[in-house]
Amino acid sequence: MGGHCIAVDPWFIVDRAPEHARLIRSAREVNDRKPEWIIEKVIEKATRFKHPVIACLGLAFKANVDDLRESPAVHIASSLQEKKVGEVIVCEPFIKEHPNFRLFPLEEALSRADIVVVLVDHSCFGKLSAARLSDKVVIDTRGILS
């Protein structure tokens, strides 16, 4: 996903030289739509459950940091909450509190969740075993789970 520079800087290039930046424009358009695509996938999976609990793992804009600026993960978790897809619980091990989300320890989030959405590739999430997640619907947006 993104970060506060990655999402913005290519648009400066596109603005300055649009005729030479078609590939950059296309790549940014695809990446900019990715959070909505993930939200659609979660909504699709949530229909399997009467009252789904959705654990969003990570809010930071990149792995192993506490910086949430311009984070697509925050947008995704917020959108799922606003759309009332189910109960949205959040685990972000690099911050202690957030004004819009109640934060849960990883084990509690996993034990409560029907759907686990890996939004950030924090190293602690990469250590999760397939056995631990075998009874969950897993959407691994970062490709860190084996």
User: For the domain that residue 69 is a member of, what is the CATH number?
Assistant: 3.40.50.720
- Asked if the structure places residue 134 within a domain, the reply is yes
- Asked if the structure places residue 145 within a domain, the reply is no
Token pair, residue 49, equals 């459950």
Distances from the Cα of 12 to the Cαs of 67, 72, 86, 103, 145, in angstroms?
23, 20, 38, 35, 34
- Asked if the structure places residue 108 within a domain, the reply is yes
- Asked if the structure places residue 4 within a domain, the reply is no
- Asked if the structure places residue 2 within a domain, the reply is no
- Asked if the structure places residue 12 within a domain, the reply is no
Q: What pTM value is reported for the model?
A: 0.85
Cβ–Cβ under 8 Å, residues 90 and 98: yes
Q: At what angle do helices 22-46 and 72-82 cross, to 10 degrees?
A: 40
Mean predicted confidence (pLDDT) in 65-80: 96
Structural domain of 76:
35-140
Please count the structural domains in the chain: 1
96-127 pLDDT tens trace: 999 999 999 999 999 999 999 999 999 999 99
The Cα–Cα gap between 96 and 65 comes to 13
76-94 pLDDT tens trace: 999 999 999 999 999 999 9
The Cα–Cα gap between 38 and 118 comes to 11
What pLDDT is recorded for position 7? 56
Higher pLDDT, 10 or 105: 105
The pLDDT mean for the chain works out to 89
What pLDDT is recorded for position 1? 45
**Residue 4: pLDDT above 90?**
no
